[in-house]
Structures are given as structure tokens and as C-alpha cells.
Structure 1
Amino acid sequence: MENLELFKKEVREWLEENCPPSIRTPLVPEEEVWGGRNAEYVNPESKLWLDRMGEKGWTAPQLPKEYGGGGLNRDETKVLHQELFRIKARPALNSFGIWMLAPCIIEFGNEEQKREHLPKIIKGEIRWCQGYSEPGSGSDLASLSTKAEDKGENFLVNGQKVWTSYADKADWIFALVRTGPKEPKHNGISFLLIDMATKGVSTKPIALISGKSPFCETFFDNVEVPKKNLVGAENSGWTIAKKLLQHERNFISNFGLTGGETGSGADVVNIAKKYLGEDNGKIAHPAHRDSITEHKMKEHAFGLTLQRAGDEGGKASATSSMFKYYGTEHNKNRYELMIA
């Protein structure tokens, strides 16, 4: 406990010295930081914040230091997040690479892949997207048909992915491909890392009714991918896919339990105080107070459950799906309270 208090003091001092003033203000969508080769920073201090956090490894605090991560344990990571929340610091980096891919590279990747990709992910130098769903395989993901043929030193990839978030802005894609067409569908899938700048890769935005969309179709037309980009053994991609989905669902279930003053991480109590006042108006109504109190109690209980599940570890299971469902419902309730 004494060491944890000392760490807390060190974190607080570092943040006071290194977190720029504008980063402690409510985040607006156009100033979100996703990094990448062609990253644009509306707020110059966002780049400064990313560089400083990336250098400390605190964009990925629990990843090993030897690959650029923070090397923190669970308790230290919790302290870091609490201190970031205390000063209302914006996230230094939004990253599918950190949230989903990096843990899988740590578990299934070889040493070359870890040293090649993890430091760039942690510092926000490369932006990743996820290539899972296809026009004919959504809920039945294992029926995917994008194929990767063995061509000696390379795989030749042909096929299409759909609903690929931010594919038009991503530098690399982690994708499920079929390498064993004669194998049972779950056994013939491999997990490939593909540079989006490779000849034959193209994207097409999917227009939504709002006129804006993060989603794209992604096409692979005779794309040559080096075999060194195969994560894990050939035809063992389904195991990695399930593990990655577990990380994705755990991230979604956590979404909103931490964060800045606005957006999905906004604290309902602070929002209520800011817009409704502490004693007058709607906030004085017992029903509103009860609703907010109930929401906070459930949030705290859910946070403790997530922490306990993390401490227990374990293999990919239905638990992560349950967390995703409950986390989504919890955040839905958050927004309903905000507009009540």
C-alpha cells in the first residue's frame, strides 16, 4: 500500500507537469486522437499529450515495458486512471490497436511481431482497423470467404470485408482469412496483418442516412501479404479471433466507466450539477436524484465485477459477451439520464 501511495504521488506530479491545460477541458469529437501515419491534430497540444503519454508507455499502461508499454500492474493502472479522471484529462489516444490487437500479439505473436508492431501501436504511429465481417458472414463469422492462398513466401489475398470502422483512415488491418478451404469452417481460418498501402487494397465508405459514417467496405484484389504477417499458426485464427472479441467486448463494457467530462466517459453526477444545478431546478426533484443515485450504484457494482473478473483471468467465454451487453445497456441508461 505504501508503494502504491508513492506511485500515486509520482503520477500526480507527472500529470501536473506534463498534461497541457487544453487537455483538461471537455473533449469535442473533432479533437479526438486516433494517431496513424496521416494523423491530423486540430489541437497542437493533443499531439504533445500523445507524445508524452506514449513515451511513458501510459497509452497502454499494462503492456510490457520492453515493447514500449507502461509495465504497470492492475493496481497501478487503476491509480493512473483515477488520477487522469481527477484532472479530467482527455484520452491521449483512441486505438483499436491498443484495445484489441496488442493483447493478442502479446499472447499469440512471435518476438519479431511484438517488436515490430507494439511500439508503433503504443505511440500512435500506426492506426489499425478490424477486418472481420463480410457481406455473407456477419453473425456467422466463421463462414467468411475472404481467402488467402499459399504462394510460397506470401499469401495471395482476395475477398471483401464490410462494416470496417475507419478503414479509409487506417494504416493497417488485422483480418480473418480462409487458408484451409477444405477444413471445417472454424479450423480453416488464419489471422493476418495487412498493410493498407499494399497494392490491391481499397476501401469504399458506406453512406448512412446522417450523411456521415465511420464504416467502409474493404476490398482485397490479389493482395500479396508476407507470411511473416501471419499471427499464430496457419489455420488457428479462430482461437485468436475469439480472444480478440473478448478484448473488444471488455473494452465496450468498460466504455463510460472512465474518461473525461463529456462524451461516453462523462460522469452523470458532474453533468447534472453542471446543467441542472446542485440544489435547484430538476435536480431538486427526488425522482431525478434517485435515478442518478441508482445509476451510480450500478456503475460502481459493475466496475467491481469487472475488476474481479480481470483478477481471476481465464479463457475467452460467454462472460465477456455478458459484460458487453450490460455495459451497452448501462451506457444507454447514462444517455437517457442526460436528456431526461
Structure 2
Amino acid sequence: MKSYMIQGAKIIATGSAIPSLKVSNEQMSSFVETSDEWIFTRTGIKERRLLTESGKSITDLAVEASIKAINSIAMDPKKIDLIILATSSPNDLFGSASKIQNEIGAINAVAFDLTAACSGFVVGIITASQFIFTGTYKNVLVIGADALSKWVDWSDRSTCILFGDAAGAVIVQSCNSVSNSILNFHLSTDGNYADYLSIAYKENLEPHPTLNLCQGSFKYISMNGKEVYKFAVSQVPLSILKCLNDINLSVKDVDWLLLHQANERILTAVAEKLSISSHKVISNLSKYGNTSAASIPLALNEAVQSNQVSRNDIVVIAGFGAGLTWGTVVIRW
């Protein structure tokens, strides 16, 4: 945390939204060679939600999650200064944040998309806090939303079993520096391994006859699951420890560990490496699968709504994924 911080920041509201269609592991086995046992033992996932409603997009889920967060504190959306949409699956390649701004009536807000895949929400929270710490903005809406079902090869059982669609949102507000709740953060990137998890662009073979210009399209999700697992289990604990050590906290001070909901084996391995009890791990992976940038705010909202997280609890949040990118933020609730 930089010493020039003149304002504090805190999360004052949460919200989430999920599609209505629930797809179980048994249903998956009807169109791809797999089984409930095979999926659950390897991932911890029992079911996922898919955005299949005609005319509905990830923007609709993001709007719903945002409105729930706004309504939970009866905030006038005109008071929102900035909207950050963390997504890798916008329904407009130019970005979807501005459409959300319009839909929720946040007419005074600047809005932009942020693409960092499964690390997106953590990067979004940290970006929001920087605008607040310097006094630039007072109220920031941060949304994590993804519909990666649109980019999954549904014949590839190594990836199609993993992903679900959802959106989650939080409102981050300025406060005095003494009450600051965003205690510290750490971000990292290693582009040397970007190919381990990607949605690559592929040019068509036939160029334009006059311009000699090849156009193309994006392919399906490609993932080296073994290497992504090794990366997450090795790097995420180090990021968390650095974040805690820098502010003189230890793992014993952690009340809750909220990791990107990618795979139950990763959640367990990271917690074990940190010697954090499984009772302190927040997880809803079994119900929703990997919802990418939405996974952390979705799980956070459920934990808040169920009163699992209490005032002054230390919550360690860590995201990791494509890029490869990873990051941690330590919050006092």
C-alpha cells in the first residue's frame, strides 16, 4: 500500500445474479463422455448455471447484480462515479460497461471494461481502490461477470465440465483512512505461460482478394489443466503470504479465505499450504462451477447474505487464471 493514500476504501454492498438454467453432472453425461463421479472427484463441481435465455447476455446478468447491490443500501445510482466491468466475455467486443451504466441509471459514472479473466475481479477491486485512495472518486461499482459457456467446446470434456455463467457486484466507497478496509494487495503476471489458458484468435485461410487481408474469429477455450493447477498451487500461497507479511499479519489472523472458484483441489491445496482450516474456506464451487471473473463476488455475496462473514473479519481474497495472472487483496470487513 502506497504512503500517499489520503482516503480509505471499503466495500459497502454486494449483489449477484445467476441464469435460471441449471445443468447437473448427470445432464452433462448425456452429451459428452463423463459421469457425475468423474466430474465431482476431479473438480468438486456438481452443477452449473448457463445463460441460454433468448436475447439475454452477460450485460443483463451484470445489470441485475448491480441493481441488487445498489438497492441493498438504497443508493441513488447517480452517486456512482465509476463502473468497472471485469469480464472476458462481453456481448460487445468494444465493451459492455457503458451499457450497464445506462441500464442502471448511473448517468454520472465513467464506465470501462477490464479484461483479466479469472483474476479480473481482484484487479477490478484494486483498480477501484486506487481511484478512491487518491480522492479521484468516492463511489465505485465493481462487477465481475462472465458467460464462458459461449466460448466452450461442448465436446471437450476436459473443459466443458468446468465453466458456468454468473455475475457479481460490489460497491466500494471512500472513507477516512483510519477506517480503511482495503488493507493491502499484490498482483503478478507471467506472460511466458499465457498459452496455458486462452481463447485464441485464428485467421481464416482465404485473404481478401484485393487487400490481402485475412480476417478470422476466436476459437474455443484451450487449457492445460495440469500446468494451471501447478501454477495456482505454487504462486497463490506466496502472493497471500507476501500480502499478509507486508502489513504484519499472519495466516492465524485470517478469518476467511476466498479464492477464485476454479477447482476444489486447488482450493484445498492452497489452504493446506497456508495451514488454513478448511472451515475458513468460502466455497460455492459445487453449485456454479468456474464462473471466471464472477466467481469471487458471487461467493462473497452469498457469504455476506448468510451472515457467514462478520464485521471486522479479515478476509483474504485471491484470484488467478489466464495471462497467467494472479493477485491477492486483504480486506477487513
User: TM (normalized to structure 2)?
Assistant: 0.25
Higher strand share: 2
Higher helix share: 1
Q: Identify which of structures 1 and 2 has the higher relative contact order when contacts are C-alpha pairs closer than 8 Å and 6+ apart.
A: 2
Q: Which structure has the larger Rg?
A: 1
User: TM (normalized to structure 1)?
Assistant: 0.24
